[in-house]
Structure 1
C-alpha cells in the first residue's frame, strides 16, 4: 500500500483539488455536503420540533382514544353486571312464580278433592234420604191401603153380622166409654 501512495505522488505535478490529501470533487464529498446542507435546513425550519409536536398530538389523540375505550369498557362492564343482576332477579322471580303456581295448583287440586268428596257425601245422603222417604211413602201407602181394606172388610163384616139391635148395644157401649174418657 505504501507503494501506491508513492506512485501516486510521483505521477505528476498537476493541480489536484484536495485539501490535506482529501479529494474534494468526488461523490462522497458531494453526498456528505448535501446531507449537511439538508440537515442544516431541517434544523433551521425546526422540522424535528414540528415532527415532535405532531407525534405528541398523535400520542395525545391515541391516549384520549384509549381513555375513551377504557371508559366504554367500564360502562360495558357495568351494563353487563347490571343485566346479569336483572337476569338473576328475573330467573329467581320466575322460579318463585313457578313455585307459587305449583302451590296454588296443589291447593286447587286439594280443594277439588275435598269438594268432590263432600259432594259425594251430600249426594249419598240425598239418595239415602230419598230412599228413606220413598220407603216411608210406600209404607204409608201400604198402611193406607191396608187400613182402607181393613175398614172395608170390617164394614162388610159389620154389615153382614150386625143388625139394628146389635148396633144399638155397640153404640151404647161406645158412648159409655167416651163418657168415661171425657170425665
Structure 2
C-alpha cells in the first residue's frame, strides 16, 4: 500500500479531476498554465529579471560600500581610541612625575626648614648667651665700680679721720715729687 501512495496522490490531483480535454479553454488548469507562460514571457520580453538583477547588484554594491565605510570608520575609531589611550597614559605618567617631584620638593623644603629652624634657634641661643654674658659682665663691672666707690669713700673717711694736717701736707709733697719724677 505504501508503494502506491505517491501514484494515488497524482491521480487525485485537480488536473485529473477536470472533466473534458486538457487543451480546452474551459479547462482552468490549461488557462492558468497559459496565463503563467504569457506572464513569464512578458517578464522576459521587458527584461525584468535583468532589471531585478541590476537593482540587486546595485543594492549589493551599496551595502558593500556601506560595510567598507563602516569598517574604515571602525578602524579609524580604534586608532583614535589607541591614540587617546596612549595620550592618557602619557598624561598619567606626567602627573605621577609631577606628584613625585612635588613630594620630593616638599620633603626637601621640610628638611631645609628644619635646618633653618635649627640654625635660627642656635643663633638665638648664642645671642641670648652673649646677652647674658654681657649683662653678667656689666653687673660685675657695676658691682666692682660700686665696691670701688664704696671702698674709696670708706677709705677716704678713714683716712680723713686718721690724718692730721702735717701728715696731709707731707703726702701732698710726696705725691708732687712722684708726679714730677714720672713726668721727667
TM-score range, shorter chain: 0.7 to 0.9
In structure 1, list runs of 5 or more residues that go unmatched: 1-15
Render the CA deviation track for 1:96-145: whole Å, top value 9, x for unaligned: 11011101101110111001101110111011011101101110110111
Counterpart for residue 105 of structure 1: 106
Counterpart for residue 56 of structure 1: 57
Counterpart for residue 128 of structure 1: 129
Q: 1: CA distance between counterparts of 2:52 and 2:68?
A: 24
1:18-37 pair list within 5 angstroms: 18=21, 23-25=22-24, 26-37=27-38
1:25-174 pair list within 5 angstroms: 25=24, 26-174=27-175
Q: 1: CA distance between counterparts of 2:29 and 2:92?
A: 81
Counterpart for residue 178 of structure 1: 179
Q: 2: CA distance between counterparts of 1:180 and 1:82?
A: 108
Render the CA deviation track for 1:144-173: whole Å, top value 9, x for unaligned: 110110110011012111122111211222
Number of residue equivalences: 164
Q: 2: CA distance between counterparts of 1:107 and 1:170?
A: 77
Q: 2: CA distance between counterparts of 1:149 and 1:75?
A: 107
Shift in Å at residue 179 of structure 1?
2.7
TM-score under structure 2 normalisation?
A: 0.84
CA RMSD between the two structures: 1.6
Find the residue that maps to 1:102 and give its secondary structure. Answer: helix
Shift in Å at residue 17 of structure 1?
6.9
Counterpart for residue 7 of structure 1: none
TM-score under structure 1 normalisation?
A: 0.84
4+ residue segments displaced more than 3 Å: none
Shift in Å at residue 181 of structure 1?
2.4
Q: Which fold has the larger relative contact order, with Cα–Cα distance below 8 Å and residues 6 or more apart in sequence?
A: 2
Q: 1: CA distance between counterparts of 2:176 and 2:116?
A: 63
